[in-house]
Amino acid sequence: MKKIAIVGVGIHPFGRFGEKSYQQIGQEAVRMALKDANVAWKDIQVAYLSSQYLPSTAASRVLKPLGETGISLVDVEAACASGGVSVNIAMLAVQAEACDLALAVGVEKMPRGFMDPMMNFEKWQVQMGLSTNPSYWAMSARRHMHDYGTTEMHLAKVAYKNHKNSVDNPNSMYRKAFSIEEILASPIVCYPIHLLEICAPNEGAAAIILCPAEKAHKYTNKPIYIEACVHVVAAYSSDFRVPIESMSARIENPSPVTLASQKAYEKAGVGPMDMDLIELQDTDAFCELQIYENLGLCKKGESGKLIDDGTTDRNGRIPVNVSGGLISKGEPVGASHLGQIAEIVYHLRGQAGARQVANAKIGMAQVLGARGNCAVTILKR
Amino acid sequence: MTTSQPAAKGKRVAIRQDLFTTPLDDLNAVHLKGTKCNDCGEVFMGHVISCAHCGSESMKGIVFNDQGTLYTYSVIQYVPPGDYKGPKDPFIPFVEGLVELPDGIRIVAPVLDCDPKNARINMPLKLKVYDFFKDEEGNDVVAFCYVPA
């Protein structure tokens, strides 16, 4: 397959922006990416926009005001992995030689508070009170604690690391370090998960511009190559996440994160230990631990040890969520993976400012959400 | 399908189709129904026409065992979002469990009559089918939960 390069990135900070429309938020990220690639909107030949909570035809609502071009503007949705799909199909469009310059953009402006449970759950689940999203993560966490001796302290250390990292990220919603004591003293959302250990839905956008690798130097002297971009939906009974009503007690299939990352490693010809940095789905602090295991950063049950020994600290062997992660940035669902990709591109270009991971050459972004939608992207400079 | 009770103001209706054995007259005699794949043996809640594991369309209806154990759980401490029909004023925190049945399935269900402080992984549980709330037509909507065995 033809090698694909990212030649422009743009990001609108993640947070809450009052009356500012999602169109404005998305357009700012797109304009920034266009400028970064030294191209004009009329040069883009196809665009994919990922979101979960925007109205139908969001792609044309956000992008048509940039100027009439007559190109295909496509809406994409795959829950928390939506951005992985927009990048994947933009890449495929360029690989198929249907176009030379493609745009993938994620935009979100989410309602405040709990997401409307009827978007995910059946009516009977909502009526019976089974529609509390974090309780499913909490159930996974409690079983992991029971099986492997993972503790509340392990979770608190993940949140401590990510909050501390966020201080240097101007695109993050929260930029405040918290002590372990403060984290453990914050209200329990669903035991063992505390308020300072969970991400908030919010608003934001990020965009990338892709082209065939051999043409990248027309646009940038720092092309970043997409070594792999994989989207999967969980294999049968392999992921305990909303809105699931039951799990098999007989079958143990590999998790969607395992599935997607194995495919991505194979395509890229690398392994988890080759990464210079990773941005991953810390929907809550336990989720980050579970994903360490499923990405193969450690064996099953040993994620607590991994956070204990500092491997994933900013100065550790494989820094994870140097951006501050979802716990600090918030999760504008459709924009989340594009935001991770923008972050990694900045590090690989050496443009990440105070949070720069020294001499980063290869990085990985991973998202996971409802119904086991998962995406993994590996980038190399 | 549910059976109406004679001479009652409303009748009993199931909160979810195809989940309960009928009739619903004596709730102590009601069990959860499932579907089993004749090819790979996987089981599913309610009525399904194909196996989400192996894709087979050779399926048979089964009745689940009433006994189970608590595989894992969380405690719902705040009113769940949406049209929750349990007690809201005041809200009573409850255990939400993943309940493992001997049939080879784990079911997400409320675990009631159980102080959250006393919930333990692997604790024995049994099914309880009960009148949960009245719908707009005055019918009793029947739901299920598990309780300590």
> What's the pLDDT tens digit per position in A229-239?
999 999 999 99
Neighbour-count burial of A182, counting CB atoms closer than 10 A to its CB (0-12 exposed, 13-18 middle, 19+ buried)? middle
Would you call A124 and B41 a contact, using CB atoms and an 8 Å cutoff?
no
**Which residue carries 């549980």 as its tokens?**
B125
SS3 B70: strand
SS3 A110: coil
CB pair distance less than 8 Å for B75 and A191:
yes
Query: For the sheet containing A362-369, what is the strand order?
Result: A72-76, A46-50, A102-109, A203-212, A4-15, A224-233, A373-380, A362-369, A277-279
Task: Extract the residue ranges of chain B whose pLDDT is less than 70.
Answer: 1-9
Average pLDDT over residues A252-264: 97
CA–CA dist A261, A113 (Å, integer): 31
Domain ranges of chain B: 12-148
pLDDT digits (tens, 9 = 90+) for A158-169: 999 999 999 999
pLDDT of residue A69: 96
End-to-end CA distance of chain B: 29
Determine whether the interchain pair A124/B108 forms a contact, defined as Cβ–Cβ distance below 8 Å: no
Domain assignment present for residue A332? The answer is no
State pLDDT tens for residues A9-38.
999 999 999 999 999 999 999 999 999 999
DSSP E strands in chain A: the ranges are 4-15, 46-50, 72-76, 102-109, 188-190, 193-194, 203-212, 224-233, 246-248, 277-279, 362-369, 373-380
Helices (H) and strands (E) in chain B, counts: 0, 9
- Report the residue of chain B nearest A117, measured CA to CA: B82
Q: Supply B73's token pair.
A: 């759980």
Phi and psi torsions of B51, nearest 5° = -85, 120
User: Quick one: pLDDT at residue B7?
Assistant: 46
Domain with residue A93: its CATH number is 3.40.47.10
Residue A84 belongs to a domain: yes
Q: What is the pLDDT of residue A116?
A: 80
* Cβ atoms of residues A136 and B101 within 8 Å: no
On chain B, the residues whose CB falls within 8 A of the CB of A250 are 41-42, 104
**Chain A residues closer than 8 Å to B108 by CB:** 125, 130, 244-246
Chain A hits for B101, CB-CB cut-off 8 Å, are: 249
Which of chain A's residues have a Cβ under 8 Å away from the Cβ of B71? 143, 249
Q: Is A181 on the interface with B (CB under 8 A)?
A: no
Cβ pair B74:A131 closer than 8 A: no
In this prediction, residue A114 has a pLDDT band, given cuts at 50, 70 and 90, of low
A284 belongs to a structural domain: no
Identify the pLDDT of residue A227: 98
pLDDT digits (tens, 9 = 90+) for B95-119: 999 999 999 999 999 999 999 999 9
- List Cβ neighbours of A169 (8 Å cut-off, separation of 6 or more): A175, A322, A323, A324, A328, A329, A343, A355
SS3 state at A228:
strand
Average pLDDT over all residues of chain A? 97
Say if A240 is an interface residue toward chain B (CB within 8 Å). Answer: yes
Q: Pick A246's closest partner by Cβ from B77, B96, B108.
A: B108
Tell me whether residue B116 is exposed, middle or buried, using C-beta atoms within 10 angstroms of its C-beta: 0 to 12, 13 to 18, 19 or more: middle
Query: A191–B74: do the CB atoms touch at under 8 Å?
Result: yes
| pLDDT number for residue A1 | 86
Residue to mutate among B2, B18, B98, with most A CBs inside 10 A, is B98
Interface probe with B: pick from A116, A127, A135, most Cβ of B within 10 Å: A127
- pLDDT band of A300, cuts 50, 70, 90: very high
Of A117, A142, A146, the CB nearest to B81: A117
Residue A185 belongs to some domain of the structure: no
> Is A319 among the domain residues?
no
> Does A215 reside within a domain?
no
- Which B residues 28-67 touch A at CB under 8 Å? 41-45, 52-53
The count of structural domains within chain A is 1
Mean per-residue pLDDT, A234-254: 94
Q: Which of residues 82-111 of B touch A (CB under 8 A)?
A: 82-86, 94, 96-98, 100-101, 104-110
Provide the residue range defining the domain that includes A73.
4-109
Residues of B in contact with A192 (CB under 8 A): none
Q: Nearest CA to CA, how far is A76 from chain B (Å)? A: 25
A254 CB within 8 Å of a chain B CB:
no
How far out from the chain centre does Cα A326 lie? 8
| Residues A169/A174/A177/A181 CA torsion (nearest 10 deg) | -150
Residue A63 inside a domain? The answer is yes
- Report the pLDDT value the prediction gives residue A133, as an integer from 0 to 100: 87
The pLDDT > 90 percentage for chain A reads: 95
Q: Do the chains contact at A132 and B81, CB–CB below 8 Å?
A: yes
Residue B26 phi/psi, 5-degree rounding, is -105, 100
Residues forming beta bridges with residue A236, ordered by sequence position? none
Answer yes or no: is A102 within a domain: yes
Q: Which SS3 state, helix, strand or coil, does residue A177 take?
A: coil
Which residues make Cβ contacts (< 8 Å) with residue A342, sequence separation at least 6?
Answer: A9, A10, A11, A206, A207, A208
Q: Do B86 and A128 touch (CB under 8 A)?
A: yes
Between CA A336 and CA A106 the distance in angstroms is 7
- A233 close contact with B: CB closer than 8 A: no
